[in-house]
Amino acid sequence: MGRLNAMKRLNVGHFKNSSLGKRIKNLIVEEEKKKEEKDEKILIDLCECYLLFYYEYDDLPKTMTNICVPPLLKVASNKDESKETQKEAETALLALGNVGDFIIPEELYLSEIKEIILYHQEHRHLTQIAYQSAWQFLIKRFVFDESLEGVIVNEMHFVREASKGLEKLMKHEDWKKKQKEAKKEKGIGKEPEEEHMMMKWLFAIGRYLTMCKLWNEESVLLVDSIVRLLRAARDINMDMSECCVNILYGTVMNRTMKIEGILKGWSFDAVLEEIQSQTLNRHLMKCLKFFLVISKRMKEKEKDEKEETKRKSTKKKVFVKMEEEGYEDIITSFHVVSRILKYRYDDSLSDYYADYFF
């Protein structure tokens, strides 16, 4: 049940305060206190159960973090390639991937999670879901510890691995067909496995692109992958499309990310296509805000002379592109409904369509 909860992204929001949650927590603490009679297997099973059901947006008590994280990392570090060991490692990493965004002391996890990820990059012994879960656990730590970025980018090659992983899933021949079938069937648990794996990569990529401070040209690979998935998911998976647009919006909000780099990934065209295909909804609002932020950043003069020259050049290219795509007519057509969108979804959306131009 815990595995299903993690795989299908179901949130048991009241587990922490439920009688079951409290009971499992007490069993873990009691088992940890034992010395000679401690049963490591039972402790690991209890920790996995607890974390797989734990609502990821709740802070995990420090006591439980100290007890649960080290033994699960030990299980995940087992390099034996037997199916049984792989399954154990996958379950342990799924549980760790469910741990929310809060500070965990580096000495509890960093060297172990680094070894797990780097060893897999060399030997490819983990399942795809296990590998993604390892990244998910690490990227959540990055939310409160920017010092990890150098390790994540330069030593562990996150950008390369994430873009490669997402591209591989998109090339899977049957994923669109499965998406359409799932759409017809509807209901919890009907989503194809490829969707869950894509969403896990999107989660990690989104956190990284919206928070990274180290700009490099490789980051464009991630933007490009998001754009391609946005186009591929259009009309067959609204949740995935919305997630892609949210990531692109968060990326342009991140001032470390260079506008010219973001636009290299054809994000401008893809979001414009989304606007043309949408009705009045929250998704459309995020698309409009994407252009609102780009427009604002394009108007800001750079202090550095070289950067200012780049800005003017990029601005000119974007302006030409806007004219070719009929951007002005598209944005102007939404001027009448912008107030409705602002009232219903987000009061930071501008009423003045001139704010969307350069």
Residues near 281 by beta carbon (within 8 Å), at least 6 away in sequence = none
CA pair distance 218, 158, nearest whole angstrom: 10
> 10 Å Cβ neighbour count for 112?
17
pTM as predicted: 0.87
Q: What confidence tens digit (pLDDT) does each residue in 48-99 have?
A: 999 998 876 667 888 899 999 999 999 999 998 899 999 999 999 999 998 8
Q: Which of the four pLDDT bands, split at 50, 70 and 90, describes residue 195?
A: confident
Q: At what angle do helices 238-253 and 282-299 cross, to 10 degrees?
A: 20
186 torsion bin: left (phi>0), alpha (psi -120 to 50), beta (else): left
CA pair distance 1, 24, nearest whole angstrom: 14
Q: pLDDT at position 31, please?
A: 93
Computed over its alpha carbons, how large is the radius of gyration of the chain?
A: 22
Q: What confidence tens digit (pLDDT) does each residue in 315-358 have?
A: 888 888 788 888 888 777 776 666 666 666 666 777 777 787 76
Q: pLDDT at position 335, please?
A: 65
In sequence order, what DSSP letters do the residues of 54-117 get, joined into one string?
S-TTSPPPHHHHHHHHHHHHHHHT----SHHHHHHHHHHHHHHHTS-SS---GGGTHHHHHHHH
Q: pLDDT at position 183, please?
A: 61
With 80 as the cut, is the pLDDT of residue 281 above it? Answer: no
Q: pLDDT at position 17, please?
A: 84
Q: pLDDT at position 310, please?
A: 84
Average pLDDT over residues 277-297: 79
Q: What confidence tens digit (pLDDT) does each residue in 110-139 have?
A: 999 999 999 999 999 999 999 999 999 999
With 80 as the cut, is the pLDDT of residue 217 above it? Answer: no
Reference 337, options 348, 354, 322, 349; nearest CA is 349
With 60 as the cut, is the pLDDT of residue 187 above it? Answer: no
Q: pLDDT at position 330, please?
A: 79
Annotated domain spans of the chain: 1-112
Q: pLDDT at position 3, please?
A: 73
Cα distance between the two ends of the chain: 52
Percent of the chain having pLDDT more than 70? 85
Q: What confidence tens digit (pLDDT) does each residue in 152-174 have?
A: 999 999 999 999 999 888 887 56
Type of residue numbered 46: L
340-358 burial, b if ≥16 CB within 10 A, otherwise e?
ebbeebeeebbeebeebbb
Q: pLDDT at position 197, please?
A: 86
Q: pLDDT at position 303, please?
A: 85
